[in-house]
Amino acid sequence: MKKKTLSQNIGIMAMFIAIGLILQYIENQLPIISVPGGKLGLANTITLLNLFMFGGGNTLVIAIIRATLGSLLSGGVTSIFYSVSGVFFSTIAMWLTKKWLYPKVSMIGLSIIGAAVHNTAQVFVAAFMFSTWYVFSYLPGLLVFSVFCGIATGYCTELLIKRVFKGDILLCGK
């Protein structure tokens, strides 16, 4: 695939923000599954996909814009802190893991790490906001939940790259 110009890249990034927002919206319509505060993290598939397309920096920008807009659309202003910090740390964790361990850790592993770090970061923010350590009693449930969600979204991303991009994604944006 040919090298893309800056404006082409910006266009593609904007498209991914839009897709992420829609996925977040669809996810919010689904009933909550057993664990308080837990959700599937469908938009994480987009973050993971972008990591392979654009590398870490651009992905971080896409993810943070998506999280900010998403929480403005669905919740209040306070939820911005939670979702942006979650997305920030999970993207960085996935980026570093991919950089150092990628072929050894598959896409599913990356996605599990992303989900787990996302939840952990949010619990830390909650602990800070409420200035109590007791919110950590939510963490075990969330971590177990994030393993399953990570497997699901990681598998989705694998399929996405195989079916939609015919495995060509690694060449994009280079």
The token duo for 162 is 């195989």
Q: What is the C-alpha to C-alpha distance for residues 37 and 25, in angstroms, rounded to an integer?
A: 16
Q: Quick one: angle between helices 107-129 and 139-163, nearest 10?
A: 140
Q: Which of 57, 76, 163, 166 binds another protein (CB under 8 A)?
A: 76
Q: Residue ranges of the alpha helices (H) in 102-138? A: 107-129
Taking the mean position of all CA atoms in its chain, how far away is CA 56? 12
Closest distance of CB 111 from another protein, Å: 10
Amino acid residing at 15: M
Q: What is the C-alpha to C-alpha distance for residues 68 and 121, in angstroms, rounded to an integer?
A: 16
DSSP annotation of 168 reads G
Q: What is the C-alpha to C-alpha distance for residues 125 and 161, in angstroms, rounded to an integer?
A: 33
Q: Which of 72, 96, 129, 164 binds another protein (CB under 8 A)?
A: 129
Q: Which stretch binds another protein (CB under 8 A): 8-16, 42-50, 58-66, 73-81?
A: 73-81
Q: Which of 15, 18, 73, 144 binds another protein (CB under 8 A)?
A: 144
Q: Which stretch binds another protein (CB under 8 A): 1-9, 50-58, 131-139, 166-174?
A: 131-139
Q: Which of 46, 48, 135, 172 binds another protein (CB under 8 A)?
A: 135
Q: Which of 18, 130, 167, 168 binds another protein (CB under 8 A)?
A: 130
Q: Applying CB under 8 A, which residues contact another protein?
A: 32, 36-37, 74-76, 78-79, 82, 101, 104-106, 108-109, 112-113, 116, 126, 129-132, 134-141, 143-144, 146-147, 155, 158
